[in-house]
Structure 1
């Protein structure tokens, strides 16, 4: 009868050691919920009582129109007029009612007439309010594909496929 007891004790000891070893792996791995990070495509910023959340510019080509997509949150007791511009050019203006939010791209179409960078680059977007003046935030420029397809400005060109080298260009490049 000593043999089954020994086996049971050995199995329990192995299970306890295995559990301890496997559980110890988590000691060196930080919990992701403890880390601050930007979970969306866009950027966040706060200018006084205005929170700018998840802002991107949707444009399909350099120097074409781009639509601003994101969320504006007014935490003040007064309405806030917000102006947007890029590259020192024209932009647009919206009013965010007190203690409310405004979804740019869904509730309001705000189009920049000229986006000076190509999709995949970062644009210097000027966000202006009466209370904070001109603020510059770097926002990504994304093509109007997938989730952002419905946010393509009316005058924007369609997304084009990446250029592939011709057979003669490939042959000359290999020499």
Structure 2
């Protein structure tokens, strides 16, 4: 009886937590979009500067600045390279979030390049229920999966223990010799 109650409680908790994943993915996508737009604005500035000073590309301008004798110019070029790398990672991430399913989004969020933004996303995250069919379906299926993952081994162990107790009880019963 207690096991069944705990099993239902555990399923309820896992269901509620699993339903948060689609919500978190939506918040994460909004955060990525903001970072992407900010990075894009910076890169457009780099492109305008490269064009203004007759560089073939932003990469050519950065390569030239890396050769400069002034340390601040070299550091600025390194920062520009990092911004471009970040922009490319954000582009890949947004592509996953615009075209991928919930599993692909979750994998991206948990990847090394995606993990760096989880803390920022969680700062503004509020629990809620997804309003998409995909989100609800994911929550229910993932909740069931986690519940089965935990409860199946536990119920098997409990069943084996009951069977052992029954076997011991059968062995301990006195055999009666009744004459008819």
Q: TM-score, normalised by structure 2?
A: 0.26
Considering fraction of residues, name the structure with more helix: 2
Q: Which one has more relative contact order, counting CA pairs under 8 Å at least 6 apart?
A: 2
CA radius of gyration, larger in: 2
